[in-house]
Amino acid sequence: MVDKDKLSTLWNGLAIEVVRFHECVKEHSKSVFLGYADVTVSVTTLPGMIFKIKGIGVKILKGSPYLDFPSERGADGTYYPICFPLSPELRRALTVGVFSSPEVTEVVAQGREQQLQAEHIECAIWEEQMAEKEEVPS
């Protein structure tokens, strides 16, 4: 559960910037991978206090925005996270910051447009099939 007061304090105290976005759209059964983002997080009240996170996976998971933080493969073959937010408020602030960037917003909009076009085509095919059924005499 996200504490809205903490989230507000974080949002006002941090500057989150996508410094590089590598678009790499791939559709999966429950998600759409949009690409990788390199992000800087700055503490606005302390100049020079900047943290950079490289290689954050940006995706839509079950219809919601989601960030997949970098991980590395251990000797046992399991992937272990390198860095990740420990509070839901910080995760939410980072997610909103990344998905608000123009680069990511543009990719999401293109994906939605393609989805709408695909749904329109499916609907037109269905309507055509229904019209053909009506024309066939019994």
- Domain locations along the chain: 4-135
The whole-number pLDDT of residue 132 equals 66
The whole-number pLDDT of residue 43 equals 86
pTM: 0.73
Query: How confident is the model over 60-102, as pLDDT tens digits?
Result: 888 889 999 999 999 999 999 999 999 888 899 999 999 999 9
The whole-number pLDDT of residue 71 equals 93
The whole-number pLDDT of residue 124 equals 58
Band of the pLDDT at 126, cuts 50, 70, 90?
low
What gap in Å lies between CA 31 and CA 51, rounded to an integer? Answer: 28
